[in-house]
Amino acid sequence: MNRPPDAHPRGLCALAAQQSVEAIGGAVPLLQGGRTCTLRLYQGMSQANGNQGVGYDGGSSIACTGLHSLYGSRPDCTDLLPNALEALARISEADLFVVLTGCPAELIGDDVAGEVRRFREKGWPVVHADLAGFSGDAWSGHERLCRALVDQHVSETFEQDERLVNLWGPVPYLDPHWEGDLLELSRLLSGLGLVVNPLFGCGSSVAAWKRIPSAALNLVVSPWLGTALCHHLRERFGTPSLQVAVPPVGRAATESFLRAVAAVLPVDPLRLDAFLASEEAIFSRFLEKGSDLFLRHDERAPERFHLVADSYVALGLHRFLACEMGLPAGVVILIDRPRHGREALLELFRSAGKRAGEISFADGTDIAEVLRERLSRESGRAIVLGSLWDEPLARELGAAFLPVSAPLGDLLVLDRSYLGMRGALRLLEDLWGAVLS
């Protein structure tokens, strides 16, 4: 069998991008598909993933055209859409409607794109994204949604703002720390005098999407997700892009991140150094505070860490723990499947040198097998950083466990982030809390 069965869904489906729409202030989704899909994805991506809440217009009840029947009396389902859209516009405080098509519409070949285009040509703020569940995972759905928003909503007229940065990073809701990550990255960039265009999360708006062409830089903080979009944005608007493949966790990665940005934008070098110094002073103070624990021999202390996460989450944590904290990695299992550049991605992990561990892509039941095999044969205590699905195995084999990837489980995540130097301190608190408890 080519693909193992999936006991533990992690990448979900393309329609998961409904949660990306929820992350945009003023955007109202309209699902052309089965309404239960909405509930399940909300449960899996928000409730069971850190209880992240309902977003601007969501939760278990987003607007839906009620397309259920392929075989009923209605020969053409598309006529549902205009009616629903018109009525929705009369009750909604929306700056943009985003029509999402799930499996049923795609199976019957419903021309939703054409219908939405007709509305757009009449001046309606409406876009369409094809997100049939069987056609891809959550990462591909998010990519498709962003591309649809850019192509169908963002116009060519703009004024350049040399301090404005479009930030492309974590996938809203799928990454349980996405909003905290965006806030921390924005805080870091504002320390350089830059302004982040709030596309998702706290403070986001549909207007921010209109400002995309005005930005001086498209900044991708991810090993792969968002690079294709930024290539497209460069072609369309001429906006340069910068990819920081390793999300900045800790001192070295944060400094590297800020210097990389400062190298391509007009940032005052004195301001950069002063900001870095202030961040570092805090980081050093608290790192030193923890050293009493880090350096003491304690049989509960981990001798290595194992990591199961998508490459965005994994890369930042791996780099910090292995390269700054000197904790060797055991196995690193990547659950996302970038279409290109997998070898380059693996090299990024391997560059951690002797503490890099064994890195692989896996999914389904293979993940548990890899983890079990490794945990069973090694001596000394380990900590597993993973998802709800990895916890029982970690406990069974005597390892500590810290939830870092989706689904996170029964926790509350508000603005938590492990990015930056401050996030790294929070990571250490959580990691050692898991070890000692």
- Eight-state DSSP code of residue 327: P
Residues 109-148 that bind another protein (CB under 8 A): 132-138
User: 350-383 in b/e burial notation, b at 16+ Cβ within 10 A?
Assistant: eebeebbbebebbbbebbbebbeebbeebeebbb
Specify which residues 219 forms β-bridges with: 167, 242
247 belongs to the binding site for another protein (CB under 8 A): no
CB of 430 to another protein, least distance (A): 19
Among 162, 273, 396, 429, binds another protein (CB under 8 A): 396
Cis, bond preceding 407 (omega within 30 deg of 0): yes
Q: Binding mask 19-38 vs another protein (x if CB under 8 A, - otherwise)?
A: ------x--x--x-xxxxxx
Residues 91-110 that bind another protein (CB under 8 A): 91-94, 102-104, 107
Residues 265-304 that bind another protein (CB under 8 A): none
Specify which residues 96 forms β-bridges with: 27
* Between 70 and 207, CB nearer to another protein: 70
111-115 contacts at long range (C-beta below 8 A, 24 or more positions apart): 111/78, 112/32, 112/78, 112/81, 115/78, 115/81, 115/82
Phi/psi of residue 305, nearest 5 degrees: -125, 145
Selected range binding another protein among 86-94, 181-189, 283-291, 326-334, rule: CB under 8 A: 86-94
Angle at 391 between CA 387 and CA 397, to 5 degrees: 140
CB of 59 to another protein, least distance (A): 3
Which amino acid, residue 166? N
313 belongs to the binding site for another protein (CB under 8 A): no
CB of 346 to another protein, least distance (A): 24
CB of 336 to another protein, least distance (A): 13
CB of 417 to another protein, least distance (A): 21
CB of 399 to another protein, least distance (A): 13
Among 347, 395, 412, 429, binds another protein (CB under 8 A): 395
Residue among 10, 64, 56 nearest 37 (CA)? 64
**Which residue is associated with the tokens 């003023």?**
26
Question: Three-state SS for 127?
Answer: strand
Instruction: Note the Cα 354 to chain centre separation in Å.
Output: 28
Residues 341-370 that bind another protein (CB under 8 A): 364-365
* Between 347 and 373, CB nearer to another protein: 373
**Which residue is associated with the tokens 């938590």?**
416
Q: Binding mask 45-74 vs another protein (x if CB under 8 A, - otherwise)?
A: x-xxx---xx-xxxxxxxxxxx-xxxx--x
